[in-house]
Amino acid sequence: MSAGGRSVEVSAEAERPGLEWVLWGVSVVSAALLVRALLLEYESPDWYFFLGPWYRYLEENGGFHALGGADFSDYNVPYLYLLAALSYLPVPAMTAVKCVSILFDLLLASYAYRIVASWRPQRPGRAFGAAATVLFLPTVVTNSGWWAQADGIFTAFLLGGVLHLLRGRSWWACSFFGLALAFKLQAVFLFPLLLVAVLTRRVTWRSLLAVPAVYVALDLPAILLGADPWRLLTVYVRQTGTYQDLTLNAPSVYQFVSVPSGEEDPVRKAGVLVAGGLVLALVALAVRAVRGAADRAGRPGRAGGADATSAVLLPAAVFAIAVPFLLPSMHERYFYVADVLSVLVAFHRPRQLWYLPVLVQLASFGSYLKFIAPSVAPYLSMPAHGALMLLALIAVLRVAAREFGPGPAPEGAVPGTVPGAVPGAVPGAGPEVRAAAQ
């Protein structure tokens, strides 16, 4: 892929680290696994009330055959496939489930490395630093090692989608977003990024078909085993009505909202509408900003791979923070995508946003402590955590506004084009989008 005459497609050789970095990576991974191993024996309430009973049901009812009646769980079946496969192994149940989540932590870090390496192929240290930071984020360590949760699974697929967006691979990007959605509904927090990518012609409209196609394809095995197709296709609709509280320890705007007991429902419904409107407004602003940046693509510091990366990463970070911040009934874990993307953005814009993951972690992990450390809970201020997350959102919005802010187009530049690009090509887009534009 090229933009402004500069290549932003990274060859396999450019991504391949030297021996010293491989040894460094093995050391970091070993340390990350050791930290998580220390947490394996702890049983979280989520395991006791949900994951453990689901696992035992699968174990007692024939593993994969039990998926013919998938109504024992409120998760979509792709995650249940993993639990069913584990039920055949002679491994303690909780350890096995946690180990799967930990393996996806490694995949998550791998995608973090590849995303950073895509714009800094000659500096593997920065890519390794991003991967290591992601591996040791308190929320990432706790989510898999203590909580036995699966947020790292769908987030790893979202990062895969972001990587393919950066490389202009529409179908691959949408397929990975479909994989993420099939595992957890919270993947939709990043779906506004796909809408921005489509409206800025980085992604073709028809490639969006990959999202439902992947979702349905992953449900087919369970349907063949006898599961109710309608129940599987509407599992997320039922999930949205599970919790009625305005916030479940999430550092969101609802930490500042006080409603009399029993009157939460009208506020929840209004909150969803307001959040939807604000997110659409952010989408419109992002589309306008990215298109405006394309008009100034020949301006020094605007053309090339850095600009293409900003057009993906900065909106991604904005949506990952803004959507769960604005929506009601969010859990503390729902900022997991923001936790990870804040690190990538900090490595992309270290001078402006080095502190972003600090703000996000203080808010996000501080909210975790409310749940995982009851003895500490009385000393925590949830409105303070909400304020920290709001500061993080303002910080990334401010940098995005500067990045894509107004400025004069270079002399001789044609609006909406990148100097040196093929006529009719789309700035920052991949081969399939450029071909469609010609």
* pLDDT at site 296: 66
- Residue 286: which of 319, 254, 263, 252 has the closest Cα? 319
> Does residue 412 lie within any of the structural domains?
no
Q: How many domains, in total, are found in the chain? A: 1
> Does residue 142 lie within any of the structural domains?
yes
> Does residue 419 lie within any of the structural domains?
no
**What is the 3-state secondary structure of 71-132?**
HHCCCCHHHHHHHHHHCCCCCCHHHHHHHHHHHHHHHHHHHHHHHHHCCCCCCHHHHHHHHH
> Does residue 415 lie within any of the structural domains?
no
Low-confidence ranges of the chain (pLDDT < 70): 1-17, 295-306, 406-438
Is 155 in contact with 108 (CB distance < 8 Å)? Answer: yes
Question: Which pTM value belongs to this model?
Answer: 0.87
> Does residue 438 lie within any of the structural domains?
no
> In terms of residue numbers, what domain contains 117?
2-406+424-432
Q: How far apart are CA 424 and CA 140, in angstroms?
A: 43
* pLDDT at site 22: 82
pLDDT digits (tens, 9 = 90+) for 226-285: 999 999 999 999 888 778 889 999 999 999 998 888 788 899 999 999 999 999 999 999
* pLDDT at site 29: 96
> Does residue 411 lie within any of the structural domains?
no
| Continuous segment of H or E residues that includes residue 293 | helix 264-295
Q: Which residues pair with 330 in a beta bridge?
A: 247
> Does residue 437 lie within any of the structural domains?
no
- Residue 115: which of 56, 63, 160 has the closest Cα? 160
